[in-house]
Amino acid sequence: MTGPFRIQSNSVTGMRAPFTAPSKMYCQRRQLFARSCRAWPHHNIYSSMGRKPTADHRRLSYRLTTHVNEKKYRELEALLRQNSKMDMSTLIRTILENRQVKIYVHDETLDNWMDELSQLRAEIRAIGVNINQITRHFNTYPEPVRKNAYASMAFDEYLKVQPRIEAIWDILKKLSEKWLRE
């Protein structure tokens, strides 16, 4: 037979065996691999990887079904919108167990201030990197002329920091007024 499919012969009996499909070859390799890993079952990649069993006191064994009116349902939905980490079942279980329902509040007015603070932080960091490089050059060269030049460059960089620090103080002042007012 010509082409990609050849008939293989058995060297013991001399009989020809039909072509083995790749999927069957994979299964044979899998079985061979599984047999070679029997000494170390934790190395067998084909063993099941299920969940750990739940402790008896934490297992939810009983199913409850209930009905609520529209007003109560809207209240529960409002609580769910304020806590994105819960679903309806978890919320109802929390209420039934008399545990506190955590409500997360996101104040969108703080987003602009936080963006500005992160931008100022990045700018101050870049200035600090520049000052470190200038200081390294300052300490590398012993000539007084070069040291004076690097010292004046470092002083200019320090002067760039001052307005950014004042901007940070202004933002912190606004934040403290907002937090202390509430």
CA 125 to chain centre: 25
When pLDDT is averaged across residues 144-168 and rounded to a whole number, the result is 89
3-state secondary structure of 124: helix
Please tell me the distance from the alpha carbon of residue 145 to that of residue 147, in angstroms, as a whole number: 5
- Whether the CB-CB separation of 82 and 105 falls below 8 Å is answered with yes
Whole-number Å distance between alpha carbons of 117 and 50:
46
pLDDT at 176: 82
Question: pTM for the full model?
Answer: 0.42
Q: Which of 35-49, 98-112, 163-177 has the highest mean pLDDT?
A: 163-177
Residue 182's pLDDT band (cuts 50, 70, 90): low
Residue 92 has pLDDT above 50, yes or no: yes
Structural contact between residues 7 and 19, judged by C-beta atoms closer than 8 angstroms: yes
Say if residue 142's pLDDT is above 90: no
The CA-to-CA distance between both ends of the chain, in Å, stands at 87
pLDDT, tens digit, 9 for 90 and up, residues 8-58: 555 555 555 555 555 545 555 555 555 555 555 555 555 556 778 888 777
**Sign of the C-alpha dihedral computed for residues 77, 81, 82 and 84 taken in this order:** positive
**pLDDT score at 132:** 92
What pLDDT is stored for residue 106 in this prediction? 72
pLDDT at 169 over 80: yes
Each residue's pLDDT tens digit, 58-83: 787 888 888 889 999 999 998 888 88
Q: DSSP label at 41? A: G
Per the prediction, the chain carries an average pLDDT of 76
